[in-house]
Amino acid sequence: MTKFVTRLLSIPLLWCGMLLSPGAAHAVEPFDAAMRDIQHRWAVANYEIRGKPRLAALQTLTQEAERLTTAYPGRAEAWIWSGIIRATIAGREGGLHALTVARAARSDFERALALDPNALGGLAYARLGALYYRVPSWPAGFGDPVKAEEMLQRALEINPDGIDNNFFYGDFLLEQGHRRRGVQYLLRAQQAPPQADQPLADSGLRHEIAKLLRQADAS
For the chain, what are the domain ranges? Answer: 15-218
- Please tell me the predicted confidence (pLDDT) of residue 56: 95
| CA separation for the pair 219, 211 (Å, rounded) | 13
Per-residue CA distances from 41 to 78, 152, 157 (Å): 14, 26, 29
163 vs 27: which has the higher pLDDT: 163
25 vs 33: which has the higher pLDDT: 33
pTM assigned to the model: 0.86
The residues with which 137 forms a beta bridge, in sequence order, are: 143
- Please tell me the predicted confidence (pLDDT) of residue 25: 40
* 195 CB neighbour count, 10 Å cutoff: 17
Q: Is the pLDDT of residue 111 over 50?
A: yes
Contact (Cβ atoms closer than 8 angstroms) between residue 52 and residue 92: no
| CA separation for the pair 132, 150 (Å, rounded) | 10
| CA separation for the pair 146, 165 (Å, rounded) | 17
Question: So what's the architecture of 15-218 in CATH?
Answer: Alpha Horseshoe (1.25)
- Read off the pLDDT of residues 30-76 as tens digits, 9 standing for 90 and up: 999 999 999 999 999 999 999 899 999 999 999 999 999 999 999 99
Q: Is the pLDDT of residue 8 over 60?
A: no
| CA separation for the pair 60, 2 (Å, rounded) | 25
Main-chain phi, psi angles of 54, to 5 degrees: -65, -50
